[in-house]
Amino acid sequence: MSHDEVVHGKVRCSTRCRAICGKSCELAAPVRLHVVAPGKKLLFMGGEFGQWKEWNHDESLQWTCCSGQSHQGVQRYLADLNTLYKREPALHEVDFESAGFEWIDCHNWQDSILVFVRKAKDPKDYLIVCCNFTPVPRPAYKIGVPEACCMRKLATSDSTFYGGSDLGNAGGIQALAVEKPRRPASMESASRRWRR
């Protein structure tokens, strides 16, 4: 997110979430979600710890936020995500070519779900990223995948370690040779919520 998205009255995405879904929403979730969405990552002035206030060049960052658990969760998540970016070739090897990215589902506006594949130079080296842009659980959510195999979960921003609710698929999930549109296999979320 560029600085234009967090200044000039546009407020932080964590503050936007509070305005949209109120106290019931896990407020740091949108901050963690935005750093895995497609495109190059840009953290700007407090984004690395989920500062509440809009950035102001006349004031210091809200460093006092760093003592809060949800803000510490954002920091831990970004640190772990940076490690994952360095470790996984699919997240950086083919960044500037269309071969490195493919949509699986970008039309599910009803559920606010995005699913995409990131690929390394070796097309068999890929990662699937599932993003739920709402606080609403999605039971048994089905997605098409490139092959039938055991999919191992590398990260979830919904982990309690990062301040989330820990609704996930344990260590992985089996993708079956059950076709989904334009995909030879599919898998189904065993959890109540797909989160990042």
Classified as helix, coil or strand, 158 is coil
Give the Cα separation of 125 and 72 in Å (integer). 32
Q: Name the pairing type of β-strands 113-119 and 142-145.
A: unpaired
For domain 90-188, give the CATH superfamily.
Golgi alpha-mannosidase II (2.60.40.1180)
Give the Cα separation of 26 and 63 in Å (integer). 21
pLDDT tens-digit series, residues 137-187? 787 788 888 888 888 888 887 788 887 777 765 677 888 888 787 888 888
- Measured in whole angstroms, how far is the alpha carbon of residue 170 from the centre of its chain? 17
pLDDT tens-digit series, residues 67-97? 777 778 888 888 888 898 889 999 888 888 8
Residues of the chain within CATH 2.60.40.1180 domain(s) are 90-188
